[in-house]
């Protein structure tokens, strides 16, 4: 990667969900598995991405729960399907962490706050944020990674992002070119 150090077997990959793992539905939400579409090329490159990292953690803001559009069990079912399909393709997700409150709500779990990263580190004490990459498609994703000293990758979309990432990619599958 351009100015990235060599990624070793002890690195952690943090991934946002919408716009990174699945196609993002702007101004709406993924409310059931039938609406979930993996981003271009991800499943074909999942094994290479999965093999490069010790851990893969999904950190996602999902205020659709706070809005009453989904209940936690429904969201968990979507994530279980997502993890199963990624596993079949060769990428194991070790943990999915979800912030379900409203934007600016309490508790302050949503990205860019660092709560979900510290929760992951509590479960996997070997996580070193200096040996971690955050991949996201929004300002809050890049801020989340930077606050923790991670390398950051922006997946470009129609989202206007002012934060400067370490690397910009069209989609997550392109990460495989740098591994």
pLDDT tens for each residue of 40-56? 999 999 999 999 999 99
Active-site residue among 10, 18, 27, 166?
18
Architecture of domain 12-178: 3-Layer(aba) Sandwich (3.40)
In this predicted structure, what is the pLDDT of residue 171?
97
In this predicted structure, what is the pLDDT of residue 20?
98
16 is an active site residue:
yes
Q: Which of 27-31, 122-126, 175-179 has the highest mean pLDDT?
A: 122-126
In this predicted structure, what is the pLDDT of residue 1?
46
Active-site residue among 10, 16, 73, 166?
16
pLDDT tens for each residue of 84-114? 999 999 999 999 999 998 887 666 889 999 9
In this predicted structure, what is the pLDDT of residue 106?
63
Q: How many Å apart are CA 54 and CA 87, to the nearest integer?
A: 15
Q: How many residues does the chain have?
A: 179
**Is the pLDDT reported for residue 2 higher than 60?**
no
Residue 13 in contact with residue 120, Cβ under 8 Å? no
**Is the pLDDT reported for residue 175 higher than 90?**
yes
18 is an active site residue:
yes
């Amino acid at each position: 990667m351009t100015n990235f150090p060599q990624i070793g077997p002890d690195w952690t990959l943090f991934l946002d969900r919408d716009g990174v793992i699945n196609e993002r539905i702007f101004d709406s939400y993924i409310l059931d598995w039938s609406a979930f579409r993996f981003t271009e090329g991800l499943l074909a490159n999942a094994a290479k991405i999965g093999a490069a990292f010790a851990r893969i953690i999904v950190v996602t803001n999902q205020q659709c729960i706070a809005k009453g559009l989904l209940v936690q069990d429904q969201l968990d079912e979507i994530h279980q399907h997502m993890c199963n399909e990624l596993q079949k393709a060769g990428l194991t997700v070790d943990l999915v962490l979800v912030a379900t409150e409203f934007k600016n709500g309490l508790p302050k779990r949503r990205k860019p706050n660092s709560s979900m990263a510290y929760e992951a580190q509590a479960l996997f004490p070997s996580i070193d944020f200096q040996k971690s990459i955050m991949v996201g498609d929004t300002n809050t994703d890049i801020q989340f990674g930077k606050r923790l000293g991670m390398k950051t990758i922006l997946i470009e979309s129609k989202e206007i992002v002012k934060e400067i990432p370490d690397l910009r990619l069209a989609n997550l599958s392109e990460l495989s070119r740098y591994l």
